[in-house]
Amino acid sequence: MHVVVASNPTARFGRSQAIGALVAARIADLGHVVQHIVAADYAGLLEQTRFAMIQADALVVVGGDGMVHLGVNIVGGTSKRLLVVPAGSGNDFAAGLGLGSTDEVLAGLEAMLASEPDRVDLIRIEHPDGVALAAGIVSVGFDADVNVRSFSLARVPARLRYQAAIAATLLRPKHRTFRVRLDGGPERTWRTLIAAIANHRTFGGGIPIAPGADNRDGRLTAVFADELSYPRFLWLLGKALRGRHVGDRRVHVAECQVAEIASDETVIVCADGEIVGRLPVRCSVMPGALQVLRMP
């Protein structure tokens, strides 16, 4: 098998690069052809990995959800397989697959590479600047603001960056007005702080924004909240951190296959913790579009 290993040199203070080298060496010891890609930035890593995958059979990404995002935008919708070595500050996709710790995945590499792939759904995101794929959560509300702010906190340790961004964003949360249409139905307007389209349960290192979401059911889960006063928002956010927000009458959860979101404001769209574009977007489910390798 021809395997490409891609490492995020910034994940966990650069330790994932060393883990990537270890992964590449172990896969080579198993008799596979291996190419290890490391780049100074995300764009360079994406370009080099995409080129390397032309001749490869499987892609191993080493890092967190951002590396999963890179991987699905290379092998999603193809016959090529993805293996995730969780080595980032946020590993929601890996946790959803039940992959366990970095060490557990390293110990199981031989079995995972020899296993039959599991198929999971992806989200196709059409936006004014192009098309992107996502594995987990597409966000345009408070959680997107947190993601954007986290990129500016380079001096904060990676394991604390998301929590620090939440705290900073809480100082001045911003309601936005969205026009939302699900599965081609009637358009509804929401002025809200919470707006997300989910393919699996969690984001931000385990926050259960959509506790009932399942990336194998061919459906997406839309989560929107009504306009809230600041004290009410803080109270609801506390519930959301424990996955108890979906029972609140101010929170609206709906399953769909297509979600269209627009706004008269300029709104950044994030997916898997990465900036992918701006509104308007059309998010549609791609059933079984990703082949992932996991412990048999």
Q: What is the pLDDT of residue 255?
A: 98
Judge if 21 and 142 occupy the same domain: no
Q: What's the average model confidence in pLDDT over 126-142?
A: 96
Q: What is the pLDDT of residue 158?
A: 65
Of 61, 88, 114, the one marking the end of a domain is 114
Cα–Cα distance measured from residue 113 to residue 2, given in angstroms and rounded to the nearest whole number? 11
Q: What is the pLDDT of residue 149?
A: 87
Judge if 144 and 83 occupy the same domain: no
More confident residue, 296 or 114: 114
Judge if 46 and 139 occupy the same domain: no
Q: Is the pLDDT of residue 150 over 60?
A: yes
Judge if 137 and 108 occupy the same domain: no
Q: What's the average model confidence in pLDDT over 218-222?
A: 98
Q: What is the pLDDT of residue 287?
A: 98
Say if 151 falls within a structural domain.
Answer: yes
Q: Is the pLDDT of residue 132 over 70?
A: yes
More confident residue, 159 or 296: 296
Judge if 240 and 272 occupy the same domain: yes
Contact between 120 and 290 (Cβ < 8 Å): yes
Cα–Cα distance measured from residue 109 to residue 130, given in angstroms and rounded to the nearest whole number? 35
Q: What is the pLDDT of residue 165?
A: 85
Return phi, psi of residue 243, to 5°: 75, 20
Say if 123 falls within a structural domain.
Answer: no
Judge if 18 and 163 occupy the same domain: no
Say if 179 falls within a structural domain.
Answer: yes
Judge if 141 and 225 occupy the same domain: yes
pLDDT in tens, 153-208: 877 776 677 778 888 888 888 899 999 999 999 999 999 999 999 999 998 888 89
Say if 125 falls within a structural domain.
Answer: no
Q: What is the pLDDT of residue 11?
A: 53
Provide the domain limits for residue 251.
130-288
Judge if 184 and 274 occupy the same domain: yes
CATH code where residue 106 lies: 3.40.50.10330
Say if 89 falls within a structural domain.
Answer: yes
Judge if 105 and 140 occupy the same domain: no
DSSP string, 10-71: TGGGGHHHHHHHHHHHHHHHTT-EEEEEE-SSHHHHHHHHHHHTTS-SEEEEEESHHHHHHH
Judge if 104 and 137 occupy the same domain: no
Looking at 39-43, 70-74, 115-119, 274-278, which range is the least confident one?
39-43
Of 81, 114, 147, the one marking the end of a domain is 114
Judge if 140 and 243 occupy the same domain: yes
Say if 296 falls within a structural domain.
Answer: no
pLDDT in tens, 223-248: 999 999 999 988 988 898 889 999 89
Q: Would you place residue 12 in the very low, low, confident or very high pLDDT band (cuts 50, 70, 90)?
A: very low
Contact between 208 and 201 (Cβ < 8 Å): yes
Domains held by the chain: number: 2
Contact between 209 and 146 (Cβ < 8 Å): no
pLDDT in tens, 207-219: 899 999 999 999 9
Say if 155 falls within a structural domain.
Answer: yes
The proportion of the chain whose per-residue pLDDT surpasses 70, expressed as a percent, equals 96
CATH code where residue 228 lies: 2.60.200.40
Cα–Cα distance measured from residue 122 to residue 35, given in angstroms and rounded to the nearest whole number? 26
Q: Would you place residue 13 in the very low, low, confident or very high pLDDT band (cuts 50, 70, 90)?
A: very low
Say if 248 falls within a structural domain.
Answer: yes
Q: Would you place residue 143 in the very low, low, confident or very high pLDDT band (cuts 50, 70, 90)?
A: confident
Looking at 46-60, 134-148, 161-175, 211-225, which range is the least confident one?
161-175
pLDDT in tens, 250-260: 999 999 999 99
Q: Is the pLDDT of residue 133 over 90?
A: yes
Judge if 200 and 107 occupy the same domain: no
The proportion of the chain whose per-residue pLDDT surpasses 90, expressed as a percent, equals 74
